[in-house]
Amino acid sequence: MSVEGFNPFKMAQQQFDAVAEKLGLDQATRDLLRYPDREYQFNIPIRMDDGTYRVFRGFRVQHSDARGPAKGGIRFHPQETIDTVRALAMWMTWKTAVVDIPLGGGKGGVVCDPHHLSLREQELICRGWVRQIVRNLGPLQDVPAPDVMTTSQHMIWMLDEYEKITGIKAPGFITGKPLGLGGSLGRTEATGYGVMYTVREALKFLGIDIKNTTASFQGFGNVSQYALDLYTQMGGKAIAVSSWDPKEQRAITFRKKDGINFKELISITNKFGEIDKSKAQELGFEILPGSAWIEQEVDILVPAALENQINKDTVQLIKPTVKIIAEGANGPTTPEADEVLKERKIHVIPDFLCNAGGVTCSYFEQVQCNMNYYWTKEEVLTKLDQKMTSAYHSVLELANNKGVYMRDAAYMIAISRVAEAVKLRGWV
């Protein structure tokens, strides 16, 4: 999805170029890593429920498979663009590298709006997407997963299509599957919980007791819901959450200054993570403009909706109380805004570290599928916590030792690992 005038791929390249320069990478490695290894763009023709035909545009980008099979989600969104998918594929490469799991980076998408599609139509899009690139996907090549507006139901349709075509059972083809059909316990919670494991560690580093903190969240989908839930369980007070209102076609911020009760908020939220405005009003929430989430006097901001949300304009709205920005979403902060955050010494937990819990758990899901033996939820979440905590501390240590910004430190670790892999393979 791209906002007019904003090109996420250019931003991803800009971030890469700056770190490549700092690391002194040779030109061939830079040329290799600043573009995807491969990308596919294709049509998915569907017979709609009313008998008419519509053609949907599908994408899959494999940025790098130097460290293992490409890995990354599939988004369904009406404003999906190839450049967004490219950027996200590249960020997946850095994400799998920074948490040190043996996978590469990929991403996919379909230009469509599930709000206006029946389940049957969505199933046909899923199956059509797989049919178009079946030869280039697989447990040992490229492993998709859910992302914005795709769920375990979409994943199982895709798996079923793949297994029908190949004639084998291959649950490791895709992750984010339903439980009992190769899914892993803890996967639903993984990204949001992972965000909060890193916030917990950041608060320890800053010497702040979580019980004395407040937070504001953008978005209330998969990532934000579990992040908010764990945050309040750990003793924090969430005071504001924003979400998209499909009726009014705008975002709304819902605020409760004395603290949001997760169970109450989830009970008035639909499956797209959209909060019901009139029910929220009945429950005593203040209704504020969509942009208000960022202007709250809180300790922690959690952008967990879209890219390009903290930019040169909105960064000015961030209150001096904010100490941590935990990037649940991919690409929420632009390089211009980063400069301001750096100057203000706000502790930013960069997206590809902060939200890496999802892909880490996806990796655990694949491992369990390969063993055909499944762990308990506690085992999964304990392993997840260990991975996230250790990745966070590696980045923090480098940031402190070299006196660099957290995002730069995370990039330095990730890009060095991928650069080393392409060198060892003899690609450049």
Pair of tokens at residue 123: 């199933």
**Under rule CB under 6 A, residue 147 binds ligand NAD:** yes
Question: Which CB sits closer to ligand NAD, 147 or 161?
Answer: 147
Active-site annotation holds for 107: yes
**Under rule CB under 6 A, residue 218 binds ligand NAD:** yes
Choices 5-13, 97-105, 110-118, 237-245 (CB under 6 A): range interacting with ligand NAD = 237-245
Mode of pairing for the β-strands spanning 105-110 and 53-64: antiparallel
Distance CA 64, CA 67 (A): 8
Residues 17-76 that bind ligand NAD (CB under 6 A): none
Q: In this structure, are residues 335 and 14 in contact, taking their beta carbons and an 8 Å threshold?
A: yes
71, 95, 107, 237: which is the annotated catalytic residue?
107
Residue nearest to ligand NAD (CB): 221
Q: Which of 243, 311, 334, 368 binds ligand NAD (CB under 6 A)?
A: 243
Choices 55-63, 135-143, 322-330, 333-341 (CB under 6 A): range interacting with ligand NAD = 322-330
Task: Number of residues interacting with ligand NAD: please give it, by CB under 6 A.
Answer: 26
Choices 123-131, 206-214, 256-264, 304-312 (CB under 6 A): range interacting with ligand NAD = 304-312
Pair of tokens at residue 247: 């009726």
Q: In this structure, are residues 223 and 216 in contact, taking their beta carbons and an 8 Å threshold?
A: no
Q: Which of 148, 227, 324, 406 binds ligand NAD (CB under 6 A)?
A: 148
**Given its phi and psi angles, is residue 235 left (phi above 0), alpha (psi -120 to 50 degrees) or beta?**
left
In angstroms, give the least distance from the CB of 241 to ligand NAD.
8
Nearest to 379 by CA among 184, 192, 179, 188: 184
**Under rule CB under 6 A, residue 2 binds ligand NAD:** no
The letter for the amino acid at 121 is E
Residues ≥6 apart with Cβ < 8 Å to 397: none
- In the sheet that 250-255 helps form, which strands lie side by side, from edge to edge? 286-289, 250-255, 237-245, 214-218, 300-303, 324-326, 347-349
Give the residue numbers marked as catalytic: 107
Interacting residues toward ligand NAD by CB under 6 A? 147-149, 191, 218-224, 242-244, 251, 273-274, 290, 304-306, 328-330, 355, 358
